[in-house]
Structure 1
Amino acid sequence: MKKLPINGLHLWQFENFTKEESIRHFVTDRSSHSEEREFTLSLSSSPDKSFIHENRSRLASALGIENGNLFFPSQVHKTKIVHVTQSTAKESLVETDALITNEAGICIAVMSADCVPILVYDKKNNAVGAIHSGWRGTVAKILEKTLHEMQRLFGTKGEHVYAGIGPSVSQESYEVGEEVVQEVRQAFGHENELLIPTGSNKAKLDLWKANKLQLMEFGVSASRIEVSDLCTVRNNNHFFSARKGDTGRFAAGIMVKN
């Protein structure tokens, strides 16, 4: 990924997506304001709602779209997927962790502060998806479910998909307990190196690889999957991290251009 100044904001972009003329995408950096005011996008985690609306307005402006065409779900670590259109009410995005669309000019985005934000692009059918996948979403395979929903609605096939796995907690920084270890093994089996045991029934979990496996199982070529390799814990100066005590949230979004 590369960080670029775009219309007054500090935004990160996947190299594989920047080559695609039909889409626009971004991952926000917490530093687009001065040091006293951080660029957070989450209404639920900030007492200053007007500040969040101001940030969202700045983001929409940087993308060249109206505020009403920037869609964020209200995330709850489940597997609800919403197909977003011009007529989609913002109220319908509660308890939602993945958005998909094939309508130009609509930007769909998810927020994160250690969980994995994933962006997908179906080049043949000009459809996109934005997925929020923490450990619960990962073991529930929300990414796989989203790809199958895109297949059902848009005809998406793995051979036409490009994907970006965004900044999130790395395996090195992510120790989980016995409950999570058991669920990961139940979802993915034992032979995939997703877990590095650390003793006392704990392990370090690789969320990046777990989501990359879901993409590849759908038929996405490994060469079309870009992993940011940016750990939110170790790169906390750029990205919010709940493990570091942050309440802010950065965003990852994608849209089909008009």
Structure 2
Amino acid sequence: MAGAMIAADQPVCFPSDLLVAVSSKDDGTMLNRIRGRHVAEVLENRRRFCDQTGVKYDDVVYHVISYDQGQTFDTIAEVTEADTTRHNNEGIFADALYTEMAGVGLFLPVADCIATVIYDPKRRALMLAHLGRHSTVVQLMSRAVQHFVERGSRAKDLQIWMSPSITQKNYCMDYFNYADDINWQNFCHQTADGIYLDMQGFNRSLAIRAGVPDDNIFISPIDTADNPNYFSHSSGDIGGRFVVVACMRY
């Protein structure tokens, strides 16, 4: 299985002091939603993938996305070495993880949602955000940029990469409460079969409005819904997840 991640699909927009890697189906699933969060063969897949990318799985913070009642979808958690799987096997429940510590990896399993890396190379601050429908609608991207700015970053220094994810041509909703919202006007398209959402475009527009230069935003062209190399919830992968891992090198 070594070398299963797809070289052409890795982000190339970041400086060399930031490691970002995205796994593919051949690396095995990084989460089994049906059998439990940390079953043995899934842990084995995670460890193998992390070793291959040059991060130790024990040094990552495991990112848990929960749709339980009461979840706000816009929680940003600041993490340090004390939160890594070495100290905490459960993971952190939040839609975005932020760290200013080199050597602390952020580890987010996804299957259609946008795993979004935001990096300030000047201050060396890193965020990995889960931009699914819920967190996109509550404009987590705007809050994410603000989070950096409140800690001393300038929006114009931020670099953003959005992972392989489901794109508008395949992302159809039967109903969408925000179709009349002016912010969504250019990012949802009503047809006879439903409303097609451009999640990447909407999140990009929020980042630009928050002051991030258009040239600093990179969106993977890969659509998980029709690319067989990636798990896709919409294509029937109920349990499987690929992963994005991000870590500032020492």
TM-score, structure 1 length as denominator? Answer: 0.85
199, 205, 209: which one pairs with 2:201? 209
SS in 1 for 2:147: helix
Match of 1:66 in 2: 56
Contiguous gaps of at least 5 residues in structure 1? 33-38
Identity %: 22
Alpha-carbon deviations, 1:96-150, whole Å to 9, x = none? Answer: 1111111111111222111111111111111111111111110011122122222
Higher helix share: 1
1:162 maps onto 2:159 in alignment = yes
Work out which of the residue numbers 234, 240, 243 in structure 2 matches 1:243.
234
In structure 1, which of residues 14, 17, 27 is the aligned counterpart of residue 11 of structure 2? Answer: 14
Contact kept? 1:98, 1:110, Cα under 8 Å: no
What amino acid maps onto 1:160 in structure 2?
A: D
Partner secondary structure for residue 221 of structure 2 = coil
2: distance between equivalents of 1:184 and 1:85?
A: 39
Q: Which runs of 5+ in 2 are unaligned?
A: 68-72
Aligned to 2:247: 255
Residue by residue over 1:67-117, the C-alpha shift from the partner in whole angstroms, topping out at 9 and shown as x without a partner, is 221122110251211111011253674431111111111111222111111
Query: Per the alignment, do residues 232 and 161 of structure 1 end up closer, same or farther by CA in structure 2, a change over 3 Å counting?
Result: same
2:82 is paired with a residue of what secondary structure? coil
* AA of the residue aligned to 1:150: F
- Residues 114-193 of structure 1 mapped to structure 2, 5 A cutoff: 114-153=112-151, 155-178=152-175, 180=176, 182-183=177-178, 185-186=180-181, 189=183, 191=185, 193=186
Does structure 2 retain, via aligned residues, the 8 Å contact 1:97–1:110? no
TM-score (norm 2): 0.87
Whether the 8 Å contact between 2:139 and 2:206 is mirrored in structure 1 is yes
**CA distance in structure 2 between the partners assigned to 1:68 and 1:138 by the alignment:** 30
Aligned length: 238
The 1-side partners of 2:216 and 2:184 are apart by 26
Do structure 1's residue 41 and structure 2's residue 34 form an aligned pair? no
Secondary structure in structure 1 of the residue aligned to 2:13: helix
Name the counterpart of 2:189.
196
Shift of 1:56: 1.3
Contact 2:18–2:246 (8 Å) recurs in 1: yes
Structure 2 partner of 1:222? 214
Over aligned residues, Cα RMSD in angstroms? 2.1
Q: Are the aligned partners of 1:232 and 1:240 in contact in 2 as well (CA < 8 Å)? A: yes
The DSSP-based 3-state class of the residue aligned with 1:41 is coil
Find the aligned partners of 2:100 and 2:63 in 1 and give their Cα distance.
17
Residues 46/123 of structure 1: CA separation in 2 closer, same or farther (3 Å cut): same
User: For residue 121 of structure 1, what is the amino acid of its counterpart?
Assistant: Y
8 Å contact kept, 2:148–2:155: no
Matching residue of 1:24: 19
Q: How far does residue 15 in structure 1 lie from its aligned partner after superposition?
A: 2.2
Partner of 1:36: none
Greater Cα shift, 53-62 or 41-50? 41-50
